[in-house]
Amino acid sequence: EVQLVESGGGLVQPGGSLRLSCAASGFTFSSYAMHWVRQAPGKGLEYVSAISSNGGSTYYANSVKGRFTISRDNSKNTLYLQMGSLRAEDMAVYYCARVKGYGDYIAFDIWGQGTMVTVSS
Amino acid sequence: SSELTQDPAVSVALGQTVRITCQGDSLRSYYASWYQQKPGQAPVLVIYGKNNRPSGIPDRFSGSSSGNTASLTITGAQAEDEADYYCNSRDSSGNHHVVFGGGTKLTVL
């Protein structure tokens, strides 16, 4: 079964750090670009970060640039998001998602179940 | 960066047809993809590219595009279609980013 499973969420104080993981199974992880997408409570989806299939290219939303780092270990079939200098506005459910296609469209065909990050003192 | 605009809420009578729209400059260059999200669940891809449905998505879901507007049409809406729907596309700014619409809450009456 094709699956993504996030972990690492939790409660963190403002200014703190957290590392999220996303374990992939059921497909050739190293063949796919991956994204992190977040959703604040009661709000819509927001692009956070992206990484190419070999990890050589990374991209960040302006809201997290300089504070978050995306990476992957293709030998472990795992995607990561290192989050630092966390703010209240970073509080959200964080999803990892597999990218399907990248030409005249971009789609996320597989999503994890999400992991909640709570930023509060 | 570009933005995608969706109506916050739309309703449809059971069995009728509903169109959910998404507007934005990036849609002049790229097709939208559409996601269905039910409470407490992760989003599910329902339409991608010109008008493609992933395996397992009913054929009552279809997509179209004209100018800066993309549309998701549900022909013969079912009670289980009640959900939030989001569009997304590549950002046309050339920065490899992705943009999402704000979402549309679909109510099936």
One-letter amino acid of B81: D
pLDDT tier at B1, thresholds 50, 70, 90: very low
Indicate if the pLDDT at residue B9 is higher than 60. Answer: yes
**Could you tell me which chain B residue has the CA closest to the CA of A49?**
B97
Residue of chain B nearest A57, judged by CA positions: B96
Which of A17-26, B12-21, B87-96 has the least mean pLDDT? B87-96
Q: Write out the two tokens for A91.
A: 């509080």
pLDDT at B2 over 90: no
Check pLDDT > 80 for residue A24.
yes
Q: Is the pLDDT of residue B94 over 80?
A: no
Mean pLDDT of chain B: 95
Average pLDDT in the B59-78 region? 97
**Measured between CB atoms, which of A50, A62, A113 is closest to B42?**
A113
Query: Given this model, what pLDDT does residue A39 score?
Result: 98
- Residue closest to B89 by CA, chosen among B68, B75, B62, B60: B68
Residue A31 pLDDT greater than 70, yes or no: yes
Residue B98 touches chain A, beta carbons under 8 Å? yes
Chain B's closest residue to A58, CA to CA, is B96
Q: Do B45 and A100 touch (CB under 8 A)?
A: yes
Yes or no, beta carbons of A47 and B48 under 8 Å apart: no
Question: Across the interface, which of A59, A95, A106 has its CB nearest the CB of B89?
Answer: A106
**pLDDT at B40 > cutoff 90:** yes
What pLDDT sits at residue B90? 92
B16 lies within 8 A of chain A by CB: no
Residue A38, strand partner residues? A46, A94
Q: Is the dihedral of CA B97, B54, A45, B30 positive or negative?
A: positive
- Quote the minimal CA–CA distance from B22 to chain A in Å: 14
The pLDDT of residue A29 is above 60: yes
User: What does each C-alpha distance from B30 to A101, B63, B86 come to in angstroms?
Assistant: 12, 13, 16
Spatial separation of the C-alpha atoms in residues A61 and A63, rounded to whole Å: 5
pLDDT tens digits, B11-39: 999 999 999 999 999 999 999 999 999 99
On the question of pLDDT at A2 being above 70, the answer is yes
Residue bearing tokens 């997509």 = B63
A57-95 pLDDT, tens per residue?
A: 999 999 999 999 999 999 999 999 999 999 999 999 999
Is residue B104 a contact partner of residue B7, using CB atoms and an 8 Å limit?
Answer: yes
Residue B92 binned pLDDT confidence (cut-offs 50, 70, 90) = confident
Of the candidates A59, A105, A114, the beta carbon closest to that of B33 is on A105
| Of A102 and B75, the one with more pLDDT | B75
Choose among B42, B90, B96: nearest Cβ to A114. Answer: B42
Q: Decide if B90 and A113 are in contact by the 8 Å CB cutoff.
A: no
Q: Which of A44, A45, A105 sits opposite B48 (nearest CB)?
A: A105
Q: A with B: how many residue pairs have Cβ under 8 Å apart?
A: 74
Asked if B93 has any chain A CB less than 8 Å from its own CB, the reply is no
- Residues A59 and A62: their CA atoms lie apart, in Å, by 9
Mean pLDDT over the full length of chain A: 96
